Chains A and B, each alone.
Chain A
Amino acid sequence: MAAATTPQPVVRVQGLVNRFGRQVVHNQLDFEVMPQEIFGIVGGSGSGKSVLLHSILGLHTPDAGRIEIYGQDMRHLSRPQRLAMVQTFGVTFQNGALISSLTVAQNVELPLREYHPDLTEPTLASLVELDLKLVGLPLDAAPKWPSQLSGGMVKRAALARALALEPKLLFLDEPTSGLDPISASGFDELLLSLHSELRLTVVMVTHDLDSLFRTCTRVGVLVGGKLVVDSIEGIVDNPDPWIHEYFHGPRARALIKHG
Chain B
Amino acid sequence: MDAWALQREGDDWRLSLKGDWSLASMGLIERDLAALAPAPDGRLICDWSQARAPGLGPVWALLERLLALGFKPAEIRHEGSPPQALALLATLKVRSDAGAGAGAGAGGAAAAGAGGRAAGAPRGLLDQMGRWVVLQGSEGRGVLEFMGRITQVALESFVRPRSLRPGSIVRHVYETGVTAIPIVSLIAFLISVVIAYLGAQQLANFGATIYVVDLVTVGVLRELGVLLTAIIVAGRSGSAFAAEIGVMQLNEETDALRAMGMNPIELLVLPRIVALVIALPALTIIADAMGLAGGGLLSLVDLHIPLPQFIARLKAALSDTTLWAGLIKAPVFAVLIGAVGAYRGMQVRDSARELGRLTTIAVVQSIFLVILADALFAIFFEKIDF
Interface residues of A (CB under 8 A from B): 99-101, 103-106, 109, 116, 118-130, 132-134, 139-140, 142-143, 145-147, 165-166, 193, 197-199
Contact = CB atoms under 8 A, between A and B. Distances in A.
B92 A127 contact: no
A134 B92 contact: yes
B110 A123 contact: no
A40 B60 CA distance: 31
Interface stretch (B21-29, B141-149, B324-332): B21-29
Given A125-B110, A134-B56, 5 more contacts: A101-B352, A127-B60, A139-B96, A143-B109, A166-B57
A125 B114 contact: yes
Contacts of B126: none
A130 B89 CA distance: 8
29 contacts: A99-B352, A100-B350, A103-B116, A105-B110, A105-B113, A105-B114, A106-B116, A109-B114, A116-B27, A118-B26, A119-B30, A120-B30, A122-B107, A123-B30, A124-B114, A125-B106, A125-B107, A125-B111, A126-B64, A130-B57, A133-B95, A139-B105, A142-B106, A142-B113, A143-B113, A166-B55, A166-B56, A197-B84, A197-B88
A133 B92 CA distance: 7
Contact of A139 (B23, B27, B30, B106): B106
Interface residues of B, number: 39
B26 A130 contact: no
B258 to A, nearest CB: 18
Contact of B23 (A142, A143, A147, A165): A165
A105 to B, nearest CB: 3
A133 B63 CA distance: 15
B235 interface: no
Nearest to B29: A123
Contacts of A146: 351
B25 to A, nearest CB: 10
Given A100-B353, A105-B113, A125-B114, A166 B23 contact: yes
B221 to A, nearest CB: 46
The prevalent SS among residues of A at the interface is: helix
B23 A100 contact: no
B23 A126 contact: no
A123 B112 CA distance: 14
Given A116-B23, A130-B57, A198-B84, A106 B114 contact: yes
Nearest to A140: B109
Contacts of B378: none
B379 interface: no
B19 interface: no
Contacts of B60: 126-127, 130
Given A120-B27, A166-B55, A147 B105 contact: no
B376 interface: no
Nearest to A125: B110
Contacts of A198: 56, 84-85, 88
Interface centre among B84, B85, B114, by most chain A C-beta atoms within 10 angstroms, is B114
B61 interface: yes
Interface in B93-118: 95-96, 102-103, 105-114, 116
Given A104-B113, A125-B111, A119 B27 contact: yes
Nearest to B353: A101
A116 B24 contact: yes
A238 B105 CA distance: 53
A57 to B, nearest CB: 21
Contact of A197 (B30, B61, B85): B85
Contacts of B354: 101
A126 B113 contact: no
A99 to B, nearest CB: 8
Contacts of B64: 126
A129 B352 contact: no
Contacts of A193: 88
A139 B102 contact: yes
A119 B110 contact: no
Contacts of B95: 133
Contact of A133 (B26, B30, B61, B96): B96
A197 B85 CA distance: 5
B85 to A, nearest CB: 5
A100 B251 CA distance: 13
Contacts of A118: 26-27
Contacts of A130: 56-57, 60, 89, 92
A7 B107 CA distance: 42
Given A101-B352, A116-B23, A116-B27, A143 B112 contact: yes
Interface string B235-268: 0000000000000000000000000000000000
A245 to B, nearest CB: 32
Interface string B341-358: 000000001111110000
Contacts of A101: 351-354
